[in-house]
Chains A and B, each alone.
Chain A
Amino acid sequence: AQSVTQLGSHVSVSEGALVLLRCNYSSSVPPYLFWYVQYPNQGLQLLLKYTSAATLVKGINGFEAEFKKSETSFHLTKPSAHMSDAAEYFCAVSEGRTSYDKVIFGPGTSLSVIP
């Protein structure tokens, strides 16, 4: 079964600084990888997804993630943090290719942006 780890339960960055949130999946290559964002008191929404079409994936709000098979990683980055980026971020993997396959979520990383 797949598993997901996210290094750092809490990350703080200054406004305008680089955002780097780390995600590693278990050794077998998952068909799909996701990053979801959760703003305070809201549900999760999709930030971006990897579907094997390209290793560098661009998402909403200036975020992107790079799939690296050799490192079993799918880290999320944004060149310049904005105050509105403060939220909880979840990395997730799909166990299969169909909509009936389970999605496994990491524990989440809380991002704080310091003015």
Chain B
Amino acid sequence: NAGVTQTPKFQVLKTGQSMTLQCAQDMNHEYMSWYRQDPGMGLRLIHYSVGAGITDQGEVPNGYNVSRSTTEDFPLRLLSAAPSQTSVYFCATTQGSYNEQFFGPGTRLTVL
């Protein structure tokens, strides 16, 4: 079991470029989410999905797009990268009776 995997680990973009951060899970969990982590701000929810074909916005959705065509995959798209999107991005799944989350290793993104 790989759990939650994310690619790439590191990425540098120029302002205005677009890219997709990949997230995959082999735990068969319905709920998946994307967070960004910035110093002193904890984790902030960008988008989430409660199952294939269903997505919704979190706390900071602007500039990001998601889709969920399968249970396993939940990619995050940056439409036109901005320096304010420099951050560490984590994908997570949730399962079980107590809403415990399982995190991927993260993608460190720098936008110049």
Contact = CB atoms under 8 A, between A and B. Distances in A.
Contacts, number: 65
Interface string B32-54: 00010000111111001010000
A43 B90 contact: yes
A74 interface: no
A105 B40 CA distance: 11
Interface residues of A, number: 27
A43 B25 CA distance: 14
B94 interface: yes
Contacts of A98: 99
Interface residues of B, number: 28
Interface of A is mostly: loop
A6 to B, nearest CB: 8
A94 B105 contact: no
A14 interface: no
Given A105-B42, A105-B43, A43 B31 contact: no
Interface string B92-106: 101111111101111
Contact of B104 (A34, A43, A99): A43
A43 B105 contact: yes
B103 A49 contact: no
B30 interface: yes
Contacts of B43: 44, 90, 105
A49 B95 CA distance: 14
Looking at B30, B41, B94, B96, the one whose CB has the most chain A CB atoms below 10 A away is B94
A42 B106 contact: yes
Contacts of A105: 35, 42-44
Given A44-B92, A108-B42, 13 more contacts: A32-B99, A34-B100, A34-B101, A44-B101, A45-B103, A49-B100, A51-B98, A90-B43, A94-B99, A99-B29, A99-B96, A100-B30, A100-B50
9 contacts: A43-B4, A46-B101, A94-B99, A99-B31, A99-B94, A99-B99, A102-B45, A103-B99, A105-B44
Nearest 4 Cβ contacts at the A-B interface: A43-B103, A94-B99, A105-B42, A105-B43
